[in-house]
Structure 1
Amino acid sequence: MSSINVAEFAAELKMPASVLLEQLRAAGVNKSNENDALTETDKAQLLTALRKAHGAQDGEKKKITLTRKSTSEIKQADNTGKARTIQVEVRKKRVFVKRDGAEAEPVVEAPVAGAPIEVVDAEQRALREAEARKSAELAELQANELKEKQALAERERQRETEAQEHAKQLEQTAQEKRAAADSGKSAAAKKQATAAEKAAKEAQEQAETQQRARELAEKEAAALNRMMTQPRRVAKAPPPPPAPAPVAADKAASERTLHKPVAKPGTKTEGADAKPKDKKAIKQSDLSSSWKDDSAKKRTIKTRGDSSGGAGGWRSPKGHRNKHHEDNVNSNFQAPLEPMVHEVHVPETISVADLAHKMSVKGSEVVKMLMKMGQMVTINQILDQETAMIVVEEMGHKAHAAKLDDPEAFLVDGEVQLDAEALPRPPVVTIMGHVDHGKTSLLDYIRRTKVAAGEAGGITQHIGAYHVETPRGIITFLDTPGHEAFTAMRARGAKATDIVILVVAADDGVMPQTIEAIHHAKAAGVPIVVAVNKIDKPEANPDRVKQELVAQEVVPEEYGGDSPFVQVSAKVGTGVDDLLEQVLLQAEVLELKAPVQSQAKGLVIESRLDKGRGPVATVLVQSGTLKRGDIMLAGAAFGRVRAMLDETGKAINEAGPSIPVEIQGLSEVPPAGEEVMVLLDERKAREIALFRQGKFRDVKLAKQQAAKLENMFENMGEGQAKLLNLIIKSDVQGSQEALTHAMQKLSTDEVKVNVVHGAVGGISESDVNLATASQAVIIGFNVRADHLARKLAENNGIDIRYYNIIYEAVDEVKAAMSGMLSPERKEEIIGLVEIRQVYRISKIGAVAGCYVLDGLVKRTSQARLLRDNVVLWTGELDSLKRFKDDAKEVKAGFECGLSLKAFNDINEGDQLEIFEVKEFARSL
């Protein structure tokens, strides 16, 4: 069937004839009515138009892949030494990509007036010629392949025509048979007609399939032909600008020089880049690649015995069969990467594991580094900041000191600064000096009370805080201890003070604690007023005191200095008014002011644990007003002020600047010297206090560990030192600190004092249990043990000592340590013996007949054998006889016989030096 009309083709497509006529006109086929004939060319034109209208043109293939395979054999020896023939198959693939229509069109370079001549060197020209030859060869090869494809398509077209004619004949036969069946023929004829119709449909579908395959092949061949025969893209010169021609010509010439040659075909230019963004740019190097380049991109086969080190083979490494490995495209040698250098922020304390994590290394590497540095640590051990920073630097990273996420920053950032007016405040005066120089007696006279009589032993063992009203205003006094054990208390007193009264006894002069008080005052930058006390004594010498203080750089005003000197007598009251006058003058010069209507801040002067009231702290308010019910934070302790007392024990509701008060309600006993502040939020106070507790614990552990590591190698090889364990309980925090410090200073190389536990409060059962476990002695300073604790101590044999004077506690501990010292051993020579005759007895050995030249010989003594004044043997006497009788001792001028224990090398003329070892008790 060579042709078909429009009506028949519409019936075949199952669509109205009018719609088909419209589609034909849109496709460019001029058909006016339904009876017009349609050819195969008209159908193909309609199909192409419909495909373009429905976007089928975009879906056609734009890429053709050509593959080539070659097989070769190599001989390789295996592990046993036998030669094996191995077949190696090399597959090469080449991909051709169809360009877009816009790119396919040749871009003709527009002639430019006065265009400069290209300057191209010989080497570049040779490269271009070689590339042109290669392209020509490739075009010839592809043209041959295209001819073969066209011949194949022609043969397929002939077979398709024959199949269509055969299908037409079958369809006519089926129509005839259907007509016969309709006219009442047999059932066999109907079956034949149905079979014939089915065969006709299959033949028609087969013909349509072949037609589609032919059209697709023709399109691919045409696209390949267009791609290989079209000229290369040439960059189009930009249109000449309206500016003067010489400038444009110079600019264009500078772009076509040897330093910047014209863009090669395939490189990106401005004209080539001007295309839609959604289409992928295709490089010319990808389009015209060679078979040689493609072979480098294929995976290589790693054979047995291959020592080339290829890592990109198709076989998986041993033990990784199920894992996916990317092909190593580039087999060139790659230099190792530089080590990563991390910026490590080291907090105050950090564990070894956390430090390793910050440096992105294994924890074992950090442990190794620390062991190389002489520190035996574990992965969970806490390091201090300094050690951790040294480790980071040693491992090649950069260390920076950093703080933890400290909630204390809230105290600075979130502090409410009220515009409170700063008003004058009373001065805070600290009385300092050597022990027994009359500090408390002077304050006693000022307060008109008998404070000194109440102190144990007549010495001050607490910081006393008092405020005194004088005719010229209020003065707050802090009375510090003078004993050497209370150094920390004096330092706290100088920190909190405005003016220091240095008390020096006129009959005693400058003493060690006087010098120490001067240093504390100068370190705090506080003015000093010198009170020369005990001026009423006949042996008083104020001039000597002045000379000694000048030597310590405390110069009187009359010598041109800035320290007033006042001669006073605390017993009689002489000069006390002048002293107060000088103090108030100094206060006026300082112009002391503090805000009153604001949140209170202060300093913990002293703290203790009261059995009935709980933790009690003596606080000196430095600014603001402390009120009952305020939320207070002091170190790791926090709480609400539930009660507030003045120094006389009277309850008060508020305290202003420079007023000392005793408060209750804290969660624990705060350390003396800690800053106190009032917060508005109790939750924030609790958070900061808990953070400080954890931080204090970590820092303490790190310091203990550092001390252990430092002492570890020192203690190796030394004899085990004796240990005196102590548990110290005191009434106040300051006394406990002073006593602990004084005890630890008593340690020697042979006997060490170890304070197992120190706290404030009475002695409880838990303290006794701790003493039992650690074999410690309990020292109670101004505290007592309760009934249950005493009974438990008696049952376990625990020694509890009570003291109220620090001298006695230190002296008794020193005596106990002296008793623990091993006695001193000394040799004492008591006689000299000369050997005059030697007898050899078979059962006994050598027996010496001797003459005692000097001293005496005792049976229990030890002897030293001398031959030509050289010591040969030292040991004990085995026997000592005078004639035939045993003798305990033989004096000078007498003869005796003796034998030596386990020694028989005795000659005539030898001498024996007789000595005894005596032990002497030592003391600290």
Structure 2
Amino acid sequence: MSQVTVSQLADVLGVDVKRLITQLNEAGIEVSEPDAAVTNEDKIKLLTYLRSSHGKGETDDTTQPKKVTLTRKSVSELKVPTGGAGRTRSRGAAPSRTVNVEVRKRRTYVKRGEIADQDKGDPEREAAAKALEEAKRQREEAERAEREEAERRQKEAEEQARVEAEERKKREAEEEERRKEEDRQRAEAEALKKVEEKVARQAAQKEAERKAAKGKSESGTRYGRDELHIAPKSKRRKPKRKGGARAAKVASSVSGEHGFQKPTAPVKREIEVPETITVGELAKAMAVKAGELIKVLMNMGTMVTINQPLDQDTAILVVEEMGHTAKPAEETDIEQELVAEVEETADEEDLVTRPPVVTVMGHVDHGKTSLLDYIRRAKVASGEQGGITQHIGAYHVETDNGVVTFLDTPGHAAFTSMRARGAQATDIVILVVAADDGVMPQTKEAIQHARAAGVPLIVAVNKMDKPEADPDRVKSELAAEEVVPEDWGGEEIFVPVSAISGDGIDTLLESVLLQSEVLELKANPKRRCRGVVVESSLDKGRGPVATILVQDGTLHRGDMILAGEEYGRVRAMFDETGKAIDEAGPSIPAEVLGLSGVPNAGDDVLAVADEKKAREAAEQRKQSAREGRLAEKQAAKLQNLFDQMGESTGEQQNVNLVIKADVQGSVEALRDSLTRLSNQEVKVNVIASGVGGITESDASLAQASGAIIIGFNVRADASARKIIQEADLDLNYYSVIYDAIDDVKKAISGLLGTETKEEIIGLAEVKDVFRSSKLGAVAGCLVVEGVVKRDNPIRVLRDNVVIFEGELESLRRFKDDAKEVQAGTECGIGVKQYNDVKPGDQIECFERIEVQRTLD
């Protein structure tokens, strides 16, 4: 038995030792010393004593409370308005008073045991509880059944209402349709009745006219077009009679003279019918009223108005129906008529020297903008005539030696785009090259575009104020591009300039004027205006606005002009500074208002005298816009070179090429090999060449020059492919240099024969690469174009350059093998014997087909 001393138990309980001894003695345990032993029985006995002394001991059940009642009270304040009910808000808020609200809650808690004992000891109470529970259950079931029945009846009523509404709508629609049908039938009956009455009246009238004219004259047409001829006036002078007009009228009737002869045989006219003619114009040509012609057309089943155009076939039928002879009008070219009218006003004696039109080109950050800004400040802002604004697209400056017009065409693409539309607006190109940077890629592009346009170059060596400037290096690099300076025995003018200090600017302008004198630029300011649209826009307040560069003649305010597919009268003209002007001479830009629409940049402008012809020409251009664009964009084809040679009459045929390859060595080899193919009949011109993929600039240059594009182990990007497709350019891909040389050689010699062409049928982009122990590297791809087929050869492209050519080892969709995968679908591709595929690469699927070349 476990024992502790009194002092130890006091420490455990945390009480005083003397108090613990007293409590033990009171509990009947005799101890007197702190070291006395206390057993477990003594501890239980002490605990029982302490519990009973604190009211927690075992007591009689009758002495314990059966339930406890708790009362809770809370007090709150409530504001109550004291104003009358008729008080309005406009008079302010009503006064209120505070009322104290006291809430008392009482809750009684009963012992669960008491309730259970009562229930257990009282059978009647238990039976009553069961009966109450059963009644509650039955009531709930009855309520649930009643609720379900109500919901069912409500649904049936809603369904019935919906069906009735649908039937009602259907009946209303049927009634409305029946009413419309009755109205239509009634209207048709009334119209038919009116037509029958009208036809009857016309028949009766014609019969009366026929009877009246019988024995006197015969009616020439079914519509009774008897023409009355005015009798010729007598040369004998009539005697003056008193009584005025009435007396003269009486005298005339007495003498037998009258103003008209008797009806004679109808006059049959020969009507020349054009492709389109309005009802009014056709009636005028037949000398009948427009209402009579409309009546004939209505009888023929055609409802027309007086201004409605008729096609040639319909017009011929109407003319023959009315008793005349019709013949189709000979087709006349409105364009040729307008040009002939303008040429008639030209006179060689009136030719004068016109200012040159200059375009500034070059590489980015070589100082083109700074050069133009300095010319603007030095020659325009100082108060001299002229100006520059960035939005107008062209401006002119006056120097001591003459006027120079600058054409603001940003970038080579705009320059070539205008030239592709047939607008040769530029006379001279200023090539800006930085002395501290030398020849760059865009410098080479500018040279190629200028060469293709056939305009002279003036090289402005800019940034000469920098200490690292090296003009000899610029000359050497340009000489490699076949731009040789004059002091080296070439033809190009080199002018060192500084756009910061202004050194050499005057010399540059003098060189431009000197070059223009060599070109002998002439124009006739007295003829009608001919020009080109530099740029155009649609202004919200002013309507279509076009910047026109006058190339020949003079444009006056009020002139009727034809600009591309648009026409109109010049309502207002403004110069570069925004000042209103009345006229613009040769090589002078002007901002014009009054056109019917917004023309395209590069459209030709022609001043005409007849608004009708301008409208007809504009309509004709709109109708043949597609054919015209295709004719302008038609490029040379390898298959058509032999035909072109056959059509030439002893003249040497030019074949223009644009060559792009993966490395510079291939470029030089192709350029040299293809150039050596030239002979007496055909000359091969490589107008552009370079390293890298085929860009939009290359495609635009080929479009403007009618060139064939040759890609050696490179591909065209998306923008270039769009231009090539729209312009129907000839694009040829090669991976063997001898194939390219042989194709051009066979085309030139006419021995085309059968050729094997490669057609790209699909392109997939690698999104990620997965490693497989069985297949190696598997490329997770998305097919972006066409279709990828498992049995076709493929090429792997990186940055549009071919890095591998082979075939597919596997093509899967998810876990299944696939024969082909369409565009917009993901797939897994395994390249046979090649595991270096990386994300971002492109897999090109192609097929080789044999084509029989023809000389049709």
TM-score with structure 2 setting the length? 0.35
From the CA coordinates, give the structure whose radius of gyration is larger.
1
